[in-house]
Amino acid sequence: MVNDARQYCYLKGPFELKFGGVLHSPTIAFETWGTLNASKDNGVLIFTGLSPSAHAASADADPSLGWWEDIVGPNKPIDTDQYFVICANSLGSCFGSTGPASINPKTEEPYRLEFPKLALEDIAATTKEVLKHLGIDSLKAVVGPSMGGMTAMGLLLKYPSICEQLLLISTASASRPFSISLRSLQRLMITSDPDWKSGQYTVDDLPLNGMKLARMLGMITYRSAAEWNQRFGRDLVPSSENRDSFFKVDFQVEQYLHNRSNDFVGSFDPNAYLYLSRAIDLFDLGAYGESLADALSGFELDKITIIGVDKDFIFPFDYQLELCNAFQENKIDCKLIQLESVQGHDSFLVDTENFGSAIRTFFT
Amino acid sequence: MVNDARQYCYLKGPFELKFGGVLHSPTIAFETWGTLNASKDNGVLIFTGLSPSAHAASADADPSLGWWEDIVGPNKPIDTDQYFVICANSLGSCFGSTGPASINPKTEEPYRLEFPKLALEDIAATTKEVLKHLGIDSLKAVVGPSMGGMTAMGLLLKYPSICEQLLLISTASASRPFSISLRSLQRLMITSDPDWKSGQYTVDDLPLNGMKLARMLGMITYRSAAEWNQRFGRDLVPSSENRDSFFKVDFQVEQYLHNRSNDFVGSFDPNAYLYLSRAIDLFDLGAYGESLADALSGFELDKITIIGVDKDFIFPFDYQLELCNAFQENKIDCKLIQLESVQGHDSFLVDTENFGSAIRTFFT
């Protein structure tokens, strides 16, 4: 038997999406850690980036390591002895929540491209249903790294007083053309793989090459040049004398990219990747007002902390500064922290020392 | 009749390459502008980046615009009224010089992957034959942007007193793992296109999709995020309401990438791209000595100028600073110029105002 800590929230009836599509009774998978107190006000909701599941941390029901294992747990920066922590798999993803690979009850086939156009606001709205399911009206805090930060702001647009505190990490109010173009290229890598078959691939015959290329581009741009100078330099792999390797793998950095991207492909549904990637491009907090500050003027928050990394290609630190300025224009107490992490956008997943310390401070 | 200003230098007999391969009587295509003076010492040699041809500027024999039209010409920063300017198509390329698409005299078939493993030092050595063919023993200056800067240093390694002055632009002594990984991914985009056919494609059936992906990644990383914020922001294309466009083109930056990359593919031989791209990765000036300064200690130069751009992802300004320090350790007069150009690595091709001025100053 597979270890599984997932619980499920079954939405009843039609769920209307931001861009007009409708899903019939979608499901959201989620996990929780810690105990909800009697007044039900110690909840901490974590929104994920594009690719993680709801399994942020290990638990008795699933002892496998979570994607934020060093951050979430007893006595950890998000302390599950103190807080009731909730993490849902995003709508549109493929780890238990309804997405393009799920069965469309109308056709009894996977949705594939019949899945409606997705917005991060839809992920926020379905996650709100999870809170309702758990009997939670308001949260101690919402935590959103990367795409999750955008989703968190999408939740606050509709429920401006849902949490006391907001922690945004390596995120932005909207994507800019540089990161849009990188994601657009990743999608083209997938959709131009003949095995994508206009989205009609089967699980036995996935567009693995397109997914591998997209993952490699992600790995390159989620990290930083400085980190790779330290880790790999120009070191060669032992077999680089091999004539056959001329267009394959000479340098250790290439071997690393090949090996790590092979680990990923096959575990994520390509169509889900396309939908979530596009949803990031389309999110635009500023479009909810006459200015960014106007758009978030309704947010009722005691405290915000925004953490960013100066070497982040995808969500450069400027984006976090812009957000902080917009909160401060609204007289919301906003603390901006720039970390010197060398791992670029992915730092929040791997630089436990710096992020752990900053997140612990946020919760004290 | 097609306009053509190319001249040809036919190397006689076997030409041995750095990595041990041999080419039989390769050809190098080149163009020249201006007049060689009686003492044959007013020559200025331009090495190109990865993709350009020898057609740096228009001339009577070929009035089409060259890739450095605003920089090379009468009264232009590289003044052809004063200098005899030479630009060759790189060995391994596909615009008249011998490369993987050329006919192998042994088999009467294109070389394809039988083309020997290529180094930038080989491009330098064959270009030296062009100078010999023109009766030029020493040059006023060598100018090398991007890959061309590496090739220029490759020439000086073998002929340390071949020029009085050296102008290096947006280049480096060696590639670092970040740019290696981007080029490695570009090559994988091409070689994983089923139409690449292990390099055995024909000109009627090119791996166009792989080339398009590789070009798009080049376009994204050769420019800068700042430029695209200015040019495109989050502007949509008019048809973005179209449901079919969900995974295609919503944003103007995406349309730009699609259109411009379509222009490129089909005009460059994919195997040539692979060879030249790998040659950039493999170049390592520092490996010629105990340190970078040691490696270039033999260079006999009156003057060096190095120009870089702070927003360059591919050859970050640090690389130019490192080079300058190494020259200065050898008491060679080196001037380092950091330009504020917003167009990233491609600035030398498009920011005529800043680059034109800096190059003009170098020549006065």
Q: In this complex, do B213 and A177 lie within 8 Å of one another by their Cβ atoms? A: no
Q: In this complex, do A192 and B177 lie within 8 Å of one another by their Cβ atoms? A: no
Contacts of A51 (CB under 8 A, 6+ apart): A264, A268, A273
Q: State the pLDDT at residue B240.
A: 52
User: How far are the Cα atoms of A318, A343, B78 from residue B56, in angstroms, in the given order?
Assistant: 38, 40, 11
Q: How confident is the model over B184-224, as pLDDT tens digits?
A: 999 999 999 999 999 999 999 999 999 999 999 999 998 88
User: How far are the Cα atoms of A348, B38, B207, B241 from residue B238, in angstroms, in the given order?
Assistant: 37, 60, 31, 8
Q: Which residue has the tokens 């997943």?
A: A349
Residue A363 zone, left/alpha/beta (φ > 0; ψ -120 to 50; rest): alpha
Q: In this complex, do A253 and B209 lie within 8 Å of one another by their Cβ atoms? A: no
**Average of pLDDT values for A3-11?**
95
Q: Pick the range with the lowest mean pLDDT from A140-154, A221-235, B132-146.
A: A221-235
Q: Is the pLDDT of residue A302 over 80?
A: yes
Q: How confident is the model over A108-120, as pLDDT tens digits?
A: 999 999 999 999 9
Quick check: A236 contacting B, CB < 8 Å? no
Q: Token pair for residue B25? A: 């009587």
Q: In this complex, do B176 and A234 lie within 8 Å of one another by their Cβ atoms? A: yes
Nearest by CB: B213 against A189, A231, A246: A189
C-alpha triplet B128, B63, B265: angle, nearest 5°: 75
Q: State the pLDDT at residue A223.
A: 86
Q: Pick the range with the lowest mean pLDDT from A288-292, A330-334, B261-265.
A: B261-265
Q: In this complex, do A178 and B228 lie within 8 Å of one another by their Cβ atoms? A: yes
Cβ proximity of B333 and B364 under 8 Å: no
* Mean pLDDT, rounded, of chain A: 94
Which A residues in the span 244-283 are in contact with B, Cβ-Cβ below 8 Å?
Answer: 246-247, 249-254, 257, 274, 278, 281-282
Quick check: B174 contacting A, CB < 8 Å? yes
Active site residue A312: yes
Active site residue B51: no
Q: Of all residues in chain B, what percent carry a pLDDT higher than 90? A: 88
AA identity, residue B197:
K
Distance between alpha carbon A67 and the CA centroid of its chain, in Å?
11
> Model pTM?
0.95
Q: Which residues of A77-116 are buried (b: 16+ CB within 10 A; e: fewer)?
A: bbbbebbbbbbbbbbbbbbbbbbbbbebeeeeebbbbebb
| Nearest C-alpha in B relative to A216 | B185
* Neighboring chain A residues of B117 at a CB cutoff of 8 Å: 243, 246
Q: Is the pLDDT of residue A22 over 60?
A: yes
Alpha helices (H) in chain B, listed in sequence order: 120-133, 147-158, 177-191, 208-222, 225-231, 252-264, 270-282, 292-295, 317-329, 347-350, 352-362
Residue with more model confidence, B119 or A1: B119
Q: In this complex, do A185 and B220 lie within 8 Å of one another by their Cβ atoms? A: yes
Q: How confident is the model over B88-106, as pLDDT tens digits?
A: 999 999 999 999 999 999 9
Q: How confident is the model over B51-87, as pLDDT tens digits?
A: 999 999 999 999 999 999 999 999 999 999 999 999 9
Sign of the dihedral defined by the CA atoms of residues A104, A107, A109, A111, in that order: negative
Q: Which among A246, A278, A322, A343 is the top mutation candidate for probing chain B, defined by the most B β-carbons within 10 Å of its own β-carbon? A: A246
Q: Which residue has the tokens 């989205």?
A: A199
* Neighboring chain B residues of A191 at a CB cutoff of 8 Å: 247
* Neighboring chain B residues of A217 at a CB cutoff of 8 Å: 185, 217
Could you say which DSSP state residue A276 is in? H
Q: Is the pLDDT of residue B157 over 70?
A: yes
* Mean pLDDT, rounded, of chain B: 94
Q: State the pLDDT at residue A247.
A: 64
| Nearest C-alpha in A relative to B255 | A181
**Average of pLDDT values for A5-19?**
96
Q: B139-145 and B7-10 as β-strands: parallel, antiparallel, unpaired? A: unpaired
H/E run at residue A348: helix A347-350
Q: In this complex, do A234 and B278 lie within 8 Å of one another by their Cβ atoms? A: no
* Neighboring chain A residues of B214 at a CB cutoff of 8 Å: none
Count of CB pairs separated by less than 8 Å, A with B: 132
Cα–Cα distance, B2 to A262 (Å, whole number):
48
**Could you say which of A146, A175, A261, A347 is catalytic?**
A146
Cβ proximity of B312 and B347 under 8 Å: yes
Quick check: A216 contacting B, CB < 8 Å? yes
Q: Is the pLDDT of residue A63 over 60?
A: yes
Nearest by CB: B278 against A182, A229, A247: A247
Cα–Cα distance, A27 to A312 (Å, whole number):
33
Q: Of all residues in chain A, what percent carry a pLDDT higher than 70? A: 97
Cα–Cα distance, A34 to A104 (Å, whole number):
34
**Average of pLDDT values for A46-65?**
97
Q: State the pLDDT at residue B66.
A: 97
Q: How confident is the model over A145-184, as pLDDT tens digits?
A: 999 999 999 999 999 999 999 999 999 999 999 999 999 9
Quick check: B342 contacting A, CB < 8 Å? no
Q: In this complex, do B251 and A180 lie within 8 Å of one another by their Cβ atoms? A: yes
Q: How confident is the model over B334-347, as pLDDT tens digits?
A: 999 999 999 999 99
| Nearest C-alpha in B relative to A313 | B225
Cβ proximity of B124 and B147 under 8 Å: no
Q: State the pLDDT at residue A243.
A: 44
Q: Is the pLDDT of residue B243 over 50?
A: no
Could you say which DSSP state residue A198 is in? G
Q: How many angstroms away from the CA of A191 is the closest CA of chain B?
A: 8
Cα–Cα distance, A62 to A95 (Å, whole number):
14
**Average of pLDDT values for A244-264?**
79
* Residue B317, SS3 per DSSP: helix
Strand partners for A163: A139
User: Domains of chain A by range and CATH?
Assistant: 7-176+284-362 (3.40.50.1820), 179-275 (1.10.1740.110)
Q: How confident is the model over B6-53, as pLDDT tens digits?
A: 999 999 999 999 999 999 999 999 999 999 999 999 999 999 999 999
Q: In this complex, do A178 and B231 lie within 8 Å of one another by their Cβ atoms? A: no
* Neighboring chain A residues of B181 at a CB cutoff of 8 Å: 216, 220, 228, 253-254, 257
Backbone angles phi, psi at A145, to 5 degrees: -90, 145
